[in-house]
């Protein structure tokens, strides 16, 4: 348990990071609180200049649609940089989707079910049997619960975690008293314990994590890697910097091609 002084420092670190403004190139309004944007709306939110969904090319053979799951106190706009990189690699707008949601709700009771419905909608729209999931921070827990307990093992091909508090983070104690999502991120929480029980990387899903040894939000840094996953240390980056880092982006894109 943290001392009062440690809790204050943790709260300061958490607020400075999680309430930081989104970079201008990625500042896109997300859906209303508590509402997941539909695939068409999410595509529009993450799109710069480009074809409409109807005009976009159909997903390439052998390539899955990508569903991004943002982190705590964020919105789909944080994915601007990685979306641009994937478009440069040949992905069409019709293959890139951003799940928007209220990040103050329960991983297991609310959010993973909403993500499951969103993925089913993406699969209906694209005709794809499976999708690839890319989550940042808290989004890693939401997407992992869906894969492990919500039927996602049958619908997810690649799963990626960027700076995910996969084994909990002590900084979450700073807001755990009043926020369910923070409680879910604390070490030893119901969510963290159940995700770690048995096989951390179940099914035929390919798993990858990317982590920094200078992450000021996920403490300890070793919380991110998972047994059975491709775990990549990206160097000394701040928590949110993994979203726009070129080396991290290259690693994610290479993994999605594997």
CA distance 69 to 31: 13
Element (H, E) at 231: strand 230-233
% of the chain with per-residue pLDDT over 70: 76
Determine the pLDDT at residue 19: 36
CA distance 188 to 149: 18
Q: Is the pLDDT of residue 160 over 50?
A: yes
Report helix, strand or coil for 151. coil
Determine the pLDDT at residue 213: 95
Report helix, strand or coil for 111. helix
Write the CA distances from 142 to 26, 197, 211, 236, integer angstroms.
22, 16, 18, 25
% of the chain with per-residue pLDDT over 90: 76
Residue range 199-224: average pLDDT? 97
Determine the pLDDT at residue 87: 97
Residue range 210-231: average pLDDT? 97
CA distance 165 to 58: 35
Span 81-113, pLDDT tens digits? 999 999 999 999 999 999 999 999 999 999 999
Determine the pLDDT at residue 59: 54
Span 8-55, pLDDT tens digits? 444 444 444 443 433 333 332 233 333 344 554 444 333 332 333 332
DSSP assignment of 11-61 equals: HHHHHHHHTSPPPGGG----PPTT-PPPHHHHHHHH--S---TTTSPPPPT
Q: Is the pLDDT of residue 208 over 80?
A: yes
DSSP assignment of 68-90 equals: EE--TT--GGGGHHHHHHHHHTT
Tokens representing 47?
């799109």
Determine the length of the chain: 258
**Residue 243 per-residue DSSP state:** G
**Residue 232 forms beta bridges with which residues?**
210
Span 117-153, pLDDT tens digits? 999 999 999 999 999 999 999 999 999 999 999 999 9
Determine the pLDDT at residue 39: 53
The angle at the Cα of 233, spanning 101 to 11, to the nearest 5 degrees, equals 50
Q: Are 161 and 209 in contact (CB under 8 A)?
A: yes
Write the CA distances from 64 to 22, 118, 190, 258, integer angstroms.
27, 15, 31, 12
Q: Are 43 and 96 in contact (CB under 8 A)?
A: yes
Phi, psi for residue 110 in degrees, rounded to 5:
-125, -60
**Residue 132 forms beta bridges with which residues?**
66
Determine the pLDDT at residue 62: 74
Pick the more confident residue, 243 or 42.
243
Architecture of domain 4-13+36-41+64-256: 3-Layer(aba) Sandwich (3.40)
Tokens representing 34?
């508590």
- Annotate 1-20 with b (16+ C-beta within 10 A) or e (fewer): eeeeeebeebeebbeebbee
Q: Using pLDDT thresholds of 50, 70 and 90, give the confidence band for residue 78.
A: very high
């Amino acid at each position: 348990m943290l001392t009062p002084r440690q809790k204050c420092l943790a709260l300061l670190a958490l607020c400075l990071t999680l309430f930081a403004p989104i970079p201008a190139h990625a500042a896109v309004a997300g859906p209303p609180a508590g509402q997941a944007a539909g695939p068409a709306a999410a595509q529009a939110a993450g799109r710069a200049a480009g074809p409409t969904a109807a005009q976009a090319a159909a997903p390439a053979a052998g390539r899955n649609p990508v569903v991004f799951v943002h982190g705590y106190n964020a919105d789909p706009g944080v994915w601007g940089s990685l979306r641009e990189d994937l478009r440069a690699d040949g992905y069409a707008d019709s293959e890139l989707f951003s799940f928007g949601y209220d990040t103050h709700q329960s991983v297991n009771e609310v959010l993973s079910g909403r993500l499951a419905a969103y993925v089913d909608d993406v699969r209906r729209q694209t005709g794809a049997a499976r999708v690839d999931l890319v989550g940042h921070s808290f989004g890693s827990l939401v997407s992992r619960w869906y894969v492990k307990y919500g039927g996602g093992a049958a619908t997810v091909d690649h799963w990626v975690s960027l700076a995910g508090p996969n084994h909990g983070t002590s900084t979450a104690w700073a807001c755990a008293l009043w926020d369910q999502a923070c409680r879910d991120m604390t070490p030893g929480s119901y969510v963290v314990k159940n995700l770690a029980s048995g096989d951390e990387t179940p099914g035929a899903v390919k798993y990858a994590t990317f982590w920094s040894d200078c992450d000021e939000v996920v403490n300890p840094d070793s919380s991110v890697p998972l047994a059975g996953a491709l775990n990549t240390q990206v160097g000394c980056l701040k928590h949110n910097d993994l979203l726009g880092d070129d080396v991290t982006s290259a690693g994610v894109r290479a993994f999605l091609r594997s």
